[in-house]
Amino acid sequence: MTPLLSTKMEKLTSDGTNFSTINSSVDQQHYFAGGYQPIKSTELKFLVQTILVLICVTGFAGNVFAAGVLIHIIRKGKPSLINSLILNLSTADLFILSFVVPFRAAIYSKPTWNAGWFICKTSDWFLHSCMVAKSLTTAVVAKACFMYASNPSKQVNIKYQTIFTIILPIWILAFVFPIPHWLFTTLKYKTDMVMCILNIPETGSLFLSVFVKLYPIFVFCIPLFFAFFYFWRAYGRCQRRGTKTQNLRNQIRSRRLTLMLLYITMAFTIMWLPEWISWLWMWHVHWTRYSLPAAFTAFSHIIMFCISLVDPIIFLVMNEEFRESCKGLCKRITWKKTHISTESRGTQVNMSLEGPPPESVQAEQQQANQEKELSTTHENSESPKSKKENPTFPDVEQFWHDREISSPSQDNDPTPWEHEGEEKQASQINVKL
C-alpha cells in the first residue's frame, strides 16, 4: 500500500526558503511517497527500522521455504491450480520482502531521501502492483477452491499452459492499476533536503479525483468480496455428508483446504485495512482538516508487511499435505548431506589406499624380493635330498632292462598256445644234454 503521510504539505515559494499553506483542493497538494516519513522521534525510527528488518529476514526465509515445498509438491505430482496460485502468493511476498522492505528500513534511518530518483519513482508503484496481484490471486484461488469443493473426487489438475494463461493476466492488471503512483511520484529539493513526494499537477486533478474513488473499489473491495462469497459457498458444499467413505474423506480434505484459504484471506484483509485507511485519509485530507499521526502511518506499513510473514505460518499449521511435504523435503536434504559426506569419506579412503607413501612401497618391494630368494634357495636345497631318499636297486634295473630288450615277436604272438609244446620239448632236450 502507498506509504504516504496524510498531511498538508507546503509549496515552495519563489526564493525556495520557506513554505506556505496551500488550498485544500486535491490538485495542488503534495504527499510523501516511497516510504519517506518525517518522524522526529529517534526512538520511533529505530523501533520501526528494527521491526522491518526482522520482518524482512523471517518473512523471506519462510516464503522461500514455502515456495520450495510448493514446487516440490507440484513436481512430485500433476500441476494443481490451487497450489500454483498459492505459489503465486508466495512469489508476490518474496518480491515485497526483497525489493521494498529493505529500502523502507534504510529510508527510515535517514532524515532525507537518499535512495535516488529510480527508487522514488517505482517504490510505491511496485509495492501496489504486488499487493494488487495478491488481491486478484485471492479471488481466483477462491473460485478454484469452490470448484474443488463441488467435486472433491475430481482433482483440479491442469496443464502448465493453462496456469500461465491465468497468472499472466493477473500480473498485467496488477502492473497497470497503480500506474498513477509511478507517473506522479517525483523528487523535490529544498535547500539541504531531498524529499520523495507524490506531486499532483493541475492538469491531472480530474483524473486523480476519479482514480482515488475507483482504485480501492477495483483492487480491494471487489476481489475480496468475490473471494469471501466463493469461500462461503465452498464451505457450504463441504458441510454435506457423503454416503461413501472415500467421498467423506474428500469432503474433510476440501473443508480443511477451504478453511486454510479462508484464514489467509481474512488475515490479508484485516492486515491490509489500516493502510487503506491511511491512503484514503491522505487523499481526502481536505475534508477533515486533520492529518494522521506519523506513528499510525508507520504502524499501517508494518502491519501490511506482516502479511508476508503470516502466510507461510498458516500454510504450515493448517495444510496437512504441506506438512508432509515439508518432512519429506527435510529428510531428502538431510539424506543428500549424509550421502555426500559418506562419499567424501570414501574418496579419502581410496586416495589413502591408492597412493601410499613412497618409503612404504619400497619396503614392501624389498620384502617381496627377499621372500622370492628364500623360496628359490629352498627348492635348490631339496633336489639332492629327494634323490637320496628314493634310490634305485641294480636287480630292479636289470629286470626292466630285460623287459625292454625282449623280442617284440614274443610279446606280440597272437597264438601263444601253439608254441607251448615246442617250448616244453626244447626244455627237455636241454635237460638231457
164 to 85, 140, 172: CA distances (angstroms):
10, 13, 12
Task: Name the nearest CA neighbour of 152 among 263, 261, 266, 244.
Answer: 244
Count other Cβ atoms within 10 Å, centred on residue 69.
27
Q: What is the DSSP letter of 418?
A: G
What pLDDT score was predicted for residue 201?
A: 75
Cα(321)–Cα(70) distance, rounded to whole angstroms? 10
Q: Is residue 266 one of the residues assigned to a domain?
A: yes
Q: Read off the CATH number of the domain in which 198 is found.
A: 1.20.1070.10
Q: Is residue 93 one of the residues assigned to a domain?
A: yes
Count other Cβ atoms within 10 Å, centred on residue 263.
16
Q: Is residue 180 one of the residues assigned to a domain?
A: yes
User: Which set of grid coordinates corresponds to residue 39?
Assistant: 518522524
What pLDDT score was predicted for residue 23?
A: 36
Count other Cβ atoms within 10 Å, centred on residue 351.
9
CB-based contacts of 108, cutoff 8 Å, min separation 6: 35, 37, 39, 45, 48, 49, 52, 298
Q: Is residue 102 one of the residues assigned to a domain?
A: yes
Cα(424)–Cα(414) distance, rounded to whole angstroms? 19
CB-based contacts of 10, cutoff 8 Å, min separation 6: 18, 19, 20, 21, 22
Ranges of residues in the chain with a pLDDT under 50 are 1-29, 349, 352-354, 356-358, 360-361, 383-389, 407-409, 411-412, 431-433
Q: Find residue 197's DSSP bridge partners.
A: 32, 186
> Is the separation of the CB atoms in 133 and 174 below 8 Å?
yes
| Ordered strands of the 185-190 beta sheet | 30-32, 193-199, 185-190
Supply φ then ψ for residue 142, to 5 degrees.
-65, -40
Q: What is the largest CA-CA distance in the chain?
A: 178
User: Domain count of the chain?
Assistant: 1
- Give the start-end residues of each E strand in 140-190: 185-190
Q: Is residue 333 one of the residues assigned to a domain?
A: no
Q: Is residue 394 one of the residues assigned to a domain?
A: no
The SS3 call for residue 41 is: coil
Cα(53)–Cα(92) distance, rounded to whole angstroms? 18
Look up the domain containing 86 and give its range.
10-324
Q: Is residue 152 one of the residues assigned to a domain?
A: yes
What pLDDT score was predicted for residue 341?
A: 60
Q: Is residue 298 one of the residues assigned to a domain?
A: yes
What pLDDT score was predicted for residue 137?
A: 96
